Structure 1
Amino acid sequence: MATAAGFEGTLAALPEAKRELARLMLAARQPVPAHPAPRSGAGPVPPTALQARLWRRERTHPAVATGSHALRLTGPLDTRRLRDALTGVLRRHEALRTRLTGSTAGRPLLEVDEEPVLRFTEADLSGFTPQAAAARTALQITESASTVLDLESGRTSAFRLLRTAPDEHVLILASHLAVFDGWSSGVFLADLAAGYREGTGHLPPPELQFPDYAAWQHRWLDGPDGSAELACRRAVFASDPRARRAAGGFERGHLPVRLARGPVARGLELGAAEGATPFMTLLAALGVVLARREGRTAVVIGTPAAGRFAGALEGAVGQFTTVVPIRLDLTGGPTFRELLHRTRAAVADALGHQRLPVDVLFSDGTPPPYDVLFALHNYPAVPLDLPGIEVGQLPGPPARHLELYSPDPAAALACVGLVERDGEIGGTAEYNRHAAAPEDVRGLLTGIEEVLDRAHTAPASPLTPRH
């Protein structure tokens, strides 16, 4: 029997292109584990389903996959240490050194550059008045969200450092959404702080890298376990009506939202008594609103999930987010308490299928069975702990969630993304101007408040299909 060392020796004797192809062929013959593992070799791998979609879309919509973050740094900042730390983070995470290139079969492949390239610019605004410096900073943050990043060139991140006062800076990060999700921001900032404080020698690579996950996803979906799970989940939603395609296409709109504190607090208290998380309680209320709007007793709502179903993925930068469709059953006129229990089970079942990318689950050309997405974000809060420096978050342009999360944005109505802070729940609703008006989106939110208020005052009352 040939040994592993013998295989490696045989592979080493092949030309580079054939060597990587042989690695992929050998890997394909091995059993696919249930969770990602370090890949064999360092050659190109197929991109994830989401990456392939964003790669196709950015060819006609530049900057469609650009996200932006901004931080205010108050204190004596060592810009050289900051640059070194940024380079160290790029070196640590393969996701930040990737590019998509064409293959002989005409399909893209994900490749990792060996050395990081730091794209970093500085500007001194300290000579302007505070008002003028603030205006220019806001403009820079807005422009950052329109930075043209693309996977083919490997230009997936760009940094701007603005000096607004002698001991005050603003750091702006533009990142490609194909390699950087919301969870990644916490990982990135924690690593940046460690590199700044202790040097980049204290930044070893994570246990799993994003290309490990991409290679695993491709093999798992093609394997018997992935195929069986895919068929099972498709059967679950086969009878649900498809979301209606917006005749006029897609145009993004944003609306700041905030839920009324009183009804929501009482509703969340009721949910907690039934063992439901705030997300489950709000989701159940939204399900009632949509069921009444559509005149149905079952609704499907999409929710972005972190997709880090393996513990080793939690320390990696990458785009692991997927959308899991959650089917809520309101047949029989349940009380809100009964619906909470059904929702708990539905959420647990849906989150158990985070390995299935939504682009593959609904890949037959028809829209998904939902047109509303809902999220209550709970990304880990990791402060940027820099010695002697106070760090504050600056508001940036709204994200492009519908285009990121929807295989077909034109079939979407709205994505409501909320955050709970200091007892209040608010955030931003992104909607498709061709499918909804601002008052339609507000109607969803006031409907949630009304359902929660009614659930508190009459918890034993059955939920009727109409107001």
Structure 2
Amino acid sequence: MAGQPAADGVLAALPEAKRELARLLLAARQPVPGHPVPRSGAGPVPPTALQTRLWRREHAHPAAATGSHALRLTGRLDERRLTGALTAVLRRHDSLRTRLVAAASEPPRLHVDDEPVLRLTRTDLTGLPAPAAAERVAREVTGSAATVLDLESGHTSAFRLLRTAPGEHVLILASHLAVFDGWSSGVFLADLATAYREDAAEPAPPAPRFTDYADWQHRWLAGPEGAAERARRRAVFAADPPAPRCPDGFDRGHLPVRLARGPVAAGIELGAAAGATPFMTLLAALAVVLARRTGRTSAVIGAPAAGRFAAPLEGAVGQFTTVVPIRIDLAGGPGFPELLRRTRTAVAEALGHQRLPVDVLFGDGTPPPYEVLFALHNYPAVPLDLPGVEVGQVPGPPARHLELYSPDPAATLACVGLVERDGEIGGTAEYNRHAITPEGVRGLLTGIEEVLEQAVAAPGRAL
């Protein structure tokens, strides 16, 4: 930008107490770009809309915003180098060094600590018999998922390194969902492997950083472009009633799920011939199930999305996840090919609005117009490539996503998260025990199978 170096020089000459205020005033005079860019200057920034919600919820529900996963490391692990690599990754990503500070009578702000704090506990289990060591590992993995993390103090990550046998370790990471999303795990592991191999102490930060994104989101939403996009999207769902809120509130349940291979594979093949991805095909079938359930001629489904709508964001650790509501029109009783065409259009339209947080789109305290969230996950698989060490996943408790994906979990029936492996599609359904039974959740998935079976048998028949 022309004149930017001169402006930076003026800012640097100001007293520190006035520097950030001047930077904000200058930024307010400039058009907000359509995508995040590195900020000029430093200082605290407003949290994202999702971070604000998670921060408020964690006060009443500690550990509700904790995510965890574990890795088995087999081989000659250099613990000193691993410790240095973990610290280097914390230093590289400002999201892992943030604190949300809420001063009296002022809105909360994200502050970035200059130096990382590595919270790593080491436990030697080599003196235990193998069954006892395995039981202890399982308890540690479960305990990590229940770790109480705190966004205000900056205690947003915690690591455990268990030595179970000579040449055998388990590394467990607990992370606050306000600063770490599913995509971040791949970025984190790739950076960890690089820092371990190179013994790097000062890795270059990504550009833009997460705080650049948070600052940009606040300014973009407050500007004319954000306001216009919010108005356009609200108009799309103006005729859709908000999801009913369960009067008994929210009580989490988890259910392993798997789709029948035969009808689903045939349905996905039919969808592919019509130019639809597996996600679009399954989503179209689910829309039919939900429309039948409600008696309406449309269905709105919440679809979790990575939220990394600009390529530079793909290299940053942070919480970028968003939920895009997808409205699928079933008016006129379309056959499956026509429904797929409508679904393709609806998905493309919805994904083009990942900049708009669902908390802002439906931000007046009214629940969103969807009761079911549906995802077919495709996070990039990035192995932790450590020299001389074989890496494997350690199973853990199911992830808790409804607080992350839904502004009001009590207004949500279920969040169905699936993955496709070796031709099988399965995963976990997280649901509200007060609003739906396990049989009801299974009925949603059985309904998908039945719709696909009917579509394959008679594609043109009205659904």
Q: TM-score, normalised by structure 2?
A: 0.98
Q: CA deviation at 1:197?
A: 0.9
Does 1:136 pair with 2:136? yes
Q: CA deviation at 1:17?
A: 3.2
Determine helix, strand or coil for the equivalent of 2:430: strand
Q: Distance in 1 between matches of 2:173 and 2:316?
A: 18
Partner of 1:116: 116
Does 1:229 pair with 2:225? no
CA deviation map 1:275-332 (0-9, x unaligned) = 1001000000100100111111101000101000000000000000000000000011
Partner of 1:334: 334
5 Å matches for 1:268-307? 268-307=268-307
Q: Mark the CA change 1:4 to 1:386 in structure 2 (over 3 Å): closer, same or farther.
A: closer
Partner of 1:252: 252
Q: Distance in 1 between matches of 2:395 and 2:21?
A: 46
CA contact (8 A) 1:161 1:169 kept: yes
Q: CA deviation at 1:12?
A: 3.6
Q: CA deviation at 1:7?
A: 4.2
Partner of 1:263: 263
Q: Mark the CA change 1:31 to 1:262 in structure 2 (over 3 Å): closer, same or farther.
A: same
Q: Distance in 2 between matches of 1:239 and 1:168?
A: 58
Q: Distance in 2 between matches of 1:4 and 1:454?
A: 61
CA contact (8 A) 1:195 1:202 kept: no
Q: CA deviation at 1:461?
A: 1.0
Determine helix, strand or coil for the equivalent of 1:299: strand
2:228 is aligned with what amino acid? A
Q: Distance in 1 between matches of 2:200 and 2:12?
A: 32
Determine helix, strand or coil for the equivalent of 2:60: coil
Does 1:183 pair with 2:186? no
5 Å matches for 1:48-87? 48-87=48-87
2:270 is aligned with what amino acid? L
Q: CA deviation at 1:106?
A: 2.1
CA deviation map 1:381-405 (0-9, x unaligned) = 0000111111101111111111111
Partner of 1:210: 210
CA deviation map 1:59-104 (0-9, x unaligned) = 1111111000100001111111000000010011111111111246
1:355 is aligned with what amino acid? R
Q: Distance in 2 between matches of 1:344 and 1:327?
A: 11
CA contact (8 A) 1:191 1:203 kept: no
Instruction: State which drifts further: 117-126 or 100-109.
Output: 100-109
> Where does structure 1 lack aligned partners over 5 or more consecutive residues?
none
Q: CA deviation at 1:203?
A: 3.0
Q: Distance in 1 between matches of 2:364 and 2:438?
A: 31
CA contact (8 A) 1:194 1:203 kept: no
Partner of 2:154: 154
Q: CA deviation at 1:5?
A: 5.5
Q: Distance in 2 between matches of 1:4 and 1:265?
A: 55
Q: CA deviation at 1:25?
A: 1.8
CA contact (8 A) 1:125 1:133 kept: yes
Does 1:315 pair with 2:315? yes
2:52 is aligned with what amino acid? A
Determine helix, strand or coil for the equivalent of 1:453: helix
Partner of 2:424: 424
Q: Distance in 2 between matches of 1:15 and 1:433?
A: 56
CA contact (8 A) 1:32 1:223 kept: yes
Determine helix, strand or coil for the equivalent of 1:116: coil
2:196 is aligned with what amino acid? Y
CA contact (8 A) 2:88 2:202 kept: no
CA deviation map 1:5-43 (0-9, x unaligned) = 654454345443332122112112211001110012110
Partner of 2:388: 388
Q: Distance in 2 between matches of 1:149 and 1:417?
A: 24
Partner of 2:457: 457
Q: CA deviation at 1:131?
A: 1.1
CA contact (8 A) 1:194 1:202 kept: no
Q: Mark the CA change 1:129 to 1:227 in structure 2 (over 3 Å): closer, same or farther.
A: same
Instruction: State which drifts further: 270-279 or 391-400.
Output: 391-400
1:78 is aligned with what amino acid? D
1:101 is aligned with what amino acid? V
Determine helix, strand or coil for the equivalent of 2:31: coil
2:221 is aligned with what amino acid? L
CA contact (8 A) 2:101 2:152 kept: yes
> Where does structure 2 lack aligned partners over 5 or more consecutive residues?
none
Q: CA deviation at 1:241?
A: 1.2
Determine helix, strand or coil for the equivalent of 2:53: helix
Q: Distance in 1 between matches of 2:395 and 2:276?
A: 31
Determine helix, strand or coil for the equivalent of 1:200: coil
Q: Distance in 1 between matches of 2:4 and 2:386?
A: 46
Q: Note the aligned Cα RMSD (angstroms).
A: 1.3
Partner of 1:100: 100
Q: Distance in 1 between matches of 2:244 and 2:103?
A: 36
Q: Mark the CA change 1:3 to 1:313 in structure 2 (over 3 Å): closer, same or farther.
A: closer
Q: Distance in 2 between matches of 1:88 and 1:138?
A: 28
CA contact (8 A) 1:263 1:452 kept: yes
Percent sequence identity is: 77
Q: Mark the CA change 1:460 to 1:422 in structure 2 (over 3 Å): closer, same or farther.
A: same
CA contact (8 A) 1:254 1:430 kept: yes
